Structure 1
Amino acid sequence: MSDVEHLQELHGLPVFDFPEPDHRGELPAAASVAWRIAAPIWEDYGESFEAVFDRFLATVDPSAVRALVIGPWGEPYDNDSSLVVDRLVAARDRLTALEAVFIGDLEMEEAEISWIEQCDVTPVLTAYPALREFGVRGGTDLRFPAVRHEHLRTLSFETGGLPADVVRGVGASDLPALEYLEMWLGVEEYGGDSTIEDLAPLLAGDRLPNLRHLGLQNSEEQDAIAAAVAAAPVVARLESLDLSMGVLTDDGARALLEGQSLTHLKWLDLHHNYIGEEMGQRLREALEPAGVELDLSADDADEDEWDDGEIMRYTAVSE
C-alpha cells in the first residue's frame, strides 16, 4: 500500500482529527477544517463509529461543516462502509453546508488498501445534491451505479483494484459539472477487472462536458490505456492528464507520441513508469518546449526477473 497516506487536506481545508471524549482544548471553527472522523480499528478499545459520529454532531455545529474525512469505522476488513453511508445519509438535514466527503482514509498500518470493504456509496451523492467533492479509498465490494449529480466537481477512487462495474457506473453517470476525475484502476488479482471497452464512455467524454483533468492510473494495462487515450476525444479539452503509477513502458509512451497532440496540456504525469531513457527523451523533446510540465520520475517503479528470464513489473499500489 505504498504511496497511500492519511489525507492532509480536503477541499482546500486542512484535515483535523476530531478528538477523544476527554479532550479539553479549544476546537477550530466548524467551517475552517476538514473533520476526520475515525473509530478504533478494534471496537473493544474505544467508541464505535456511530458513537464518535453522534458525539461529533453534538459537539460541532453541523450546519457549518464543509468537509468530512472518514477514517476507520471499526474493522474495515470485516465490516463494510455501509454504516458510514447510512450515518451520512441520516445526517443530511443537519450537515447542510457539506461540500466534500472522503470515505476510507486509512494507511497500511490500519488496513491494506485492498482489504478495505466498501459498499454502494452513491446514496451519499443523492443525499447531498450540493456536494462538490467525493472520494473513496478501497475497492473491495465497492459499487457505484449510474447517478446524476448537478454540482459534483471532483470524483476520485483510490484502489488496488477498481471493479469494472464501478468504471461502467461512472461512465453511465450524468455529471455535468465534473472537472476532475481520478481512478486507480489496479490489478485483476485485487478486483481491477475493467477493460478498455469499459473506459470508452469516459474517453468519449459525452457525459462529462466540463472535465479538465483525467487520471487513469495504477494499472497493469497502462500501455493499452495510453494507446486508447492517444485517440480519445475527451483529451482535447483536458488541462492535465495522469497515467502514472502503472506498468507504462516504451510501447505506451510511443502511442502517446504518435497519437493526438498533447501540447495543450499544462501537465502530464507519468511517474512510476518503465520507460527507457531514449523514449523518455523523445517525450521531453515533444512536450516540454510547448510548456507541458512532464513527470517521468521512475524511482519507485520495481521489477523482478524470474529464473526463466520473465520480467515482472508492478503497479505502485495493489494489495
Structure 2
Amino acid sequence: MTANSACQHQHDARINGVTKTDAPVTTHGTIPRALPGICFDLRAKIDAFLAEKPDDDVLRNVQRQIRVSMDVIHESLRRYGVDDLSLSYNGGKDCLVLLVLILACLPTCASASASASASASSPSHDAPQPSTIDSAPRPLQAIYIVSSDPFSEVEDFVAASAEQYHLDLKRYALPMRPALEAYLEDTPAIQAIFLGTRRTDPHGEFLTHFDPTDEGWPQFMRVHPVIDWHYVEIWAFIRHLQIPFCELYNRGFTSLGGVTNTRPNPALALSGDTSKFRPAYELRDDDEERLGRD
C-alpha cells in the first residue's frame, strides 16, 4: 500500500460526526433537557454533596478529590476557554466522572465570562446581571476514539449520554494517533483535551494535571483532573450522585476495551463461578481493576 493510499484508507475509516439527531430526541425516545438546566443541576448536586459531613472515609476522600479536580477544570477553562477545550470520551467510568465535573463547572465559567463582558461594556460599577442567554454554557466538544471491535453496549451508552449531556462529539474509527491527528485537523482551535486517565492506568504513573503531548504526537495540552482518584472513589462518586453508567459494569466488567480484549473481571466472579460476576463497583483494589483486560 502506498503512502497516499494508506492516508486515503485512514480518511475513509474515519467516522466523523456529531452524535445527535436532527430532532431533539434521545436514543431512548425522550426529549433531552436543555444544557443549562443539566449543568446547574449537576453543580447543585455536587455542592450539596460537598456540604455533607459523611462518616465514611471513602466519601470524605471523594469530597477532597472533587475540590482538587474542579480547581484543575476551572484553571483549564481560564487558560483556554471552552471553545478551545475538548474531552476524550468513550463512555467509561473515569471519563464519565470527568464529564460530570466539567459540566458542573460550566455555569460558573459562563456566568463569569458574561459578567466580565457586562462590566467591560458598562461604565457603571453596578453592571447588570447577565441574562440567561448570555450566561448559558455552550456544548462541550469531545472526541470518541472507537475501538476496533466495540461493545454494542458501549456504543449505545456513548450515543445516549452524548445526547443527554449535549456533547459536540466526533467519532473516529482509527488508532489513537491518527484519530487525534484527524480530530485536530477537523477542529484546529483545540488547544487542550481533558483525559480521564488515573495514576494506576498504563503510562499514568508520572503524569501531572497538565502535560503536553510527547514528541511525535499531535501537539496539545493533556489535562488530567482525575489523575489521583482511586477506583473506589470513582464508583463512590457515580453511585452517591446517582449518575447513569454503562450496563457492562453491572456484569462484572471493570475496565472497558473491545470485545476481543475485555472480559468480566475474574476477581468479581461469584464463588469461583466464572459465568456469574458481582458488579464493578464492588471491587476494592486499584491493582485488580484491569484483570479483565488482555
- Taking structure 1 as the reference length, the TM-score comes to 0.23
Higher relative helix content: 2
Higher relative strand content: 1
Say which structure, 1 or 2, has more relative contact order (CA 8 Å, 6+ apart).
2
